[in-house]
Amino acid sequence: MSNEHTELHTSIHDWIRQHREAGTSFLQQLVKMPSTQGHEQEAQLFIAEKLRELALDVEVWEPDGDALQSHPYFCSPRSHFTGSPNVVGVLKGSGGGRSLLLNGHMDVVPEGNREQWQDDPFSGRVVDGKLYGRGATDMKGGTASLLMAVEAIQGLGLTLKGDVIFESVIEEESGGAGTLAAIVKGYRADAALIPEPTNLRIFPKQQGSMWFRIEVKGRSAHGGTRYEGVSAIEKSVTVIQHIRELEELRNARIIDPLYAKNPIPIPINIGIIQGGNWPSSVSDTVKLEGRMGVAPEETLEAAKAEMSDWMAGLSLKDPWFESHPPHVEWFGAQWVPGSVDPEHDLMKVLMQQYRVVKQDEPTIEASPWGTDGGLLTQVGETPCIVFGPGITQVAHYPNEHIVLDHMFEAAEIIALTIIHWCGLEA
Amino acid sequence: MSNEHTELHTSIHDWIRQHREAGTSFLQQLVKMPSTQGHEQEAQLFIAEKLRELALDVEVWEPDGDALQSHPYFCSPRSHFTGSPNVVGVLKGSGGGRSLLLNGHMDVVPEGNREQWQDDPFSGRVVDGKLYGRGATDMKGGTASLLMAVEAIQGLGLTLKGDVIFESVIEEESGGAGTLAAIVKGYRADAALIPEPTNLRIFPKQQGSMWFRIEVKGRSAHGGTRYEGVSAIEKSVTVIQHIRELEELRNARIIDPLYAKNPIPIPINIGIIQGGNWPSSVSDTVKLEGRMGVAPEETLEAAKAEMSDWMAGLSLKDPWFESHPPHVEWFGAQWVPGSVDPEHDLMKVLMQQYRVVKQDEPTIEASPWGTDGGLLTQVGETPCIVFGPGITQVAHYPNEHIVLDHMFEAAEIIALTIIHWCGLEA
């Protein structure tokens, strides 16, 4: 490592250390704004204000539901986004460098059962170096690390050659309409980074996923003469086992070493089952709802087609399904998978700066869940890597929190990555 | 057959033929009163009025929920019966004869989806010799045949030696609290007859049944890393199969020839399944609700114990169940099974009068569903046979109806049965 690089690292490290209190306070304010779906405005305007302070060119807009709905990758339970703005800030470089898109989502999942929280779910309280609250890990802590990185670069008076595009989006938790709206607006870059909660692991690949609903049919009868009917509950047992076989088949094909630690790289999870309406009647319908994992290099369409073809095979197991084929519907959320070559230049830069800051070798994996990175990579033509300070295990759970040291480490690694990717003006 | 018997039959037959119009009109009026649970009063007072016309000693009372609740066989979703009276009429015999209890329930199940009815569900309309409406078959038509039988005997000026106790009860469809209340009041007899819809088959044995609820536990996790959780839906597949094996075991023991035509004499029906609350989460609970058939000679307690013991065996199939045993709860409705020796004297009398009226051999079977007959036999110490004119297949269904000819045939058979059982004063 050259002296110049060592000095740069020291400067960034010191700047961030000196601004720990401000960084913590910033995240605290952000967590206190309960930006669940439909309630993102306050937090988004807070971000926009911060971007203006940093002298970025700021755009704030509510995505146009009508226009988005015709987009093949649009997926949202909402058709309008009034009161739910996207925010983008652009830091123009001096020219001649590579551009980097930094993306974080502002929507948080609902807090769930408050009784399972030891404190107010939106407290932002710091205990033993951990900041608590819904969204602290997923992913306001990641967003705070992005902004600290940009602020550090500016605070040290450094000028980047390439552009930095910072996006704070809505709707990640519901299918990515916020990031899609930013892509449609034309925001693209040479590469992208999303600091979702990866425990500081680096994910060049992310699993996609889609929700499905399967209706299994039976024929009702009185329970006392149940042999006169056909139980949709019994038929759904066959369907569940059939889907389990599809999962095995699909996962046997996954030989990517990035999934080596993962017993089921692309699971098919049946999360909901519901059928029948009277204990002593034979149920004539069972509804199954689940999530199908989609491999990083796979398309949503291919995965859907494989599921449909597979379900057609049910009639070989039980002729009932020939006359009563289960209906498969794709509904609700979907996340496009994403894959970036592990040898991509941004991977090399990020891994190197990880080593510099952490004095350790980074862990490279493929994520078991989807992010907006798939949309950026596949639809926005902006290869995206996921790397962030949040704790995977506490995302979406009660008592969600982030380790503040990790947030500052991530800010440091990201600041250096921006500098080495975009290039510095001498 | 003696001449006396032939003349008696002819007199009964003629009386009933001459009163077809009145009998039809009576059933029509009864069906037009929508006596679903909680709304039985109008129809019950109509019956009480009829009994008074026939000069029976009439008692009308609302069962005392508080007092009944401590009874081990009390089972009802209600704890009070205000506005839902029971009606009993007693026709005292001249003495020296056997008493007979005639029981019919006035409660009808709800009409369900009205769009599936071709006419008003409470029309009472007669088309092609069939009278339509909720309750026509189950079992106001049966009740009408009982009352016609009593009226014929009185109309012909015949005097019975034994008492006839006529009961019009509430709550049969919900666990028998009406019949239980009459038993608790002390109404008993040497034998009983219930004209539930058997298609004129004779059932000396009736299956009992109980409702159960089983909670199957899992451990939640994100669907993308579903191997970190334990799917209650997958575990419930094991539970469903385990229950299926119990059903096989229990039915293999049924060697009663009365069940010969019945592929599964005492089914265990799982009617409802419900689990999970998010497609991309691993479900941590599945609730199963169903109906367990209870053999005529079995007690509810023995059947419950067998289910509990069987469920304990789940841990041999999957150690998960050792630490997370499914919880079995008995809830909602129950019907006590009943069994009368096919050689019982009332069976002989009823079968003989069937032959006289129908000129054919009666079909003797065991019922695949419960009636209040189990309570009468097991709790009221009044051996009860089920035989009635309604159509099994249309009970509880849209467009329920009864064939009026069958109702008049039943009235004829029942009148002769009363006469031969109770004895006639010379």
Joined together, the tokens standing for residue B239 give 């539970």
CA distances from A147 to A16, A67, A71, A171, A388 (A): 11, 30, 30, 20, 13
Distance from CA of A127 to the nearest CA of B (A): 26
- A233 and B264 within 8 Å at the Cβ level: the answer is no
Q: Give the 3-state secondary structure of residue B182.
A: helix
CB contact B358 to A (< 8 Å): no
- A212 and B279 within 8 Å at the Cβ level: the answer is yes
d(CA B399, CA A259): 59
Minimal CA–CA distance to B334: which of B184, B228, B216, B175? B175
Q: Give the 3-state secondary structure of residue A167.
A: strand
The structure tokens 């005639």 sit at B102
Q: Which residues of A touch B223 (CB under 8 A)?
A: 209, 267, 269, 271, 290-291, 293
Nearest to B269 among A226, A240, A275 (CB): A226
Domains A3-206+337-422 and A209-335 share a fold: no
The yes-or-no verdict on residue A368 having pLDDT over 90 is no
Contact A209, A370 (CB under 8 A): yes
pLDDT digits (tens, 9 = 90+) for A226-259: 999 999 999 999 999 999 999 999 999 999 999 9
**Quick check: is B128 catalytic?**
no
Q: How many CB atoms lie within 10 A of CB B79?
A: 11
Q: Give the 3-state secondary structure of residue B163.
A: coil
CB contact B269 to A (< 8 Å): yes
Backbone angles phi, psi at A85, to 5 degrees: -80, 150
Q: Give the 3-state secondary structure of residue A290.
A: strand
- B283 and A272 within 8 Å at the Cβ level: the answer is yes
Residue in A210, A222, A269 to test binding to B, most B beta-carbons within 10 Å: A269
Residue B2: predicted pLDDT: 61
Contact A65, A158 (CB under 8 A): no
Residue A364: predicted pLDDT: 96
Q: Which residues of B touch A223 (CB under 8 A)?
A: 209, 267, 269, 271, 290-291, 293
Distance from CA of A240 to the nearest CA of B (A): 8
CB contact A113 to B (< 8 Å): no
Q: Residues A366-376: what's their mean pLDDT? A: 93
**Quick check: is B21 catalytic?**
no
pLDDT less than 70: residues of chain B: 1-2
Contact A383, A192 (CB under 8 A): yes
Contact B170, B84 (CB under 8 A): yes
Q: Provide the CB-side half-sphere exposure for B64 (13 A, CA).
A: 7
The yes-or-no verdict on residue A389 having pLDDT over 60 is yes
Closest chain B residue by Cα to residue A282: B271
Q: A 237-266 residues with CB below 8 A of B?
A: 237, 240-241, 244, 262-264
Percent of chain A with pLDDT over 70: 99
Catalytic pick from B40, B107, B163, B284? B107
**A3-206+337-422 carries CATH number 3.40.630.10:** yes
The yes-or-no verdict on residue A221 having pLDDT over 90 is no
- A280 and B271 within 8 Å at the Cβ level: the answer is yes
CATH class of the structural domain B209-335: alpha beta
Helices (H) and strands (E) in chain B, counts: 13, 16
Q: How many CB atoms lie within 10 A of CB A211?
A: 24
β-bridge pairing A57-61 and A86-91: antiparallel
Q: B 284-303 residues with CB below 8 A of A?
A: 286, 289-291, 293
DSSP state string for A327-355: EEEEEEEEE--EE--TTSHHHHHHHHHHH
Closest chain B residue by Cα to residue A262: B225
Distance from CA of B259 to the nearest CA of A (A): 12
Residue B220: predicted pLDDT: 87
Q: Where are the domains of chain B?
A: 3-206+337-422, 209-335
Task: Provide the residue type at A213 as one letter.
Answer: R
- A273 and B269 within 8 Å at the Cβ level: the answer is no
CA B146 to chain centre: 16
Largest Cα–Cα separation, chain B? 86
Q: A 206-225 residues with CB below 8 A of B?
A: 207, 209, 211-213, 222-225
Residue B278: predicted pLDDT: 87
Closest chain A residue by Cα to residue B214: A279
Nearest to B286 among A224, A273, A281 (CB): A273
d(CA A206, CA A265): 11
The yes-or-no verdict on residue A163 having pLDDT over 60 is yes
Residue A2: predicted pLDDT: 61
Residue A220: predicted pLDDT: 87
d(CA A283, CA A142): 47
**Could you tell me which residues come within 8 angstroms of residue A18 by beta carbon, excluding any fewer than 6 positions away?**
none
Residue A378: predicted pLDDT: 93
Residue B368: predicted pLDDT: 87
The yes-or-no verdict on residue A5 having pLDDT over 90 is no
**Could you tell me which residues come within 8 angstroms of residue B266 by beta carbon, excluding any fewer than 6 positions away?**
B207, B247, B250, B251, B254, B292, B293, B294, B295
B46 versus A367: the higher-pLDDT residue is B46
CA distances from B84 to B14, B40, B47 (A): 36, 5, 13
**DSSP class of residue B375?**
I
**Could you tell me which residues come within 8 angstroms of residue B280 by beta carbon, excluding any fewer than 6 positions away?**
A209, A211, A269, A271, A290, A291, A333, B222, B223, B224
Residue B357: predicted pLDDT: 97
Sign of the four-CA dihedral B196, B200, B206, B210: negative
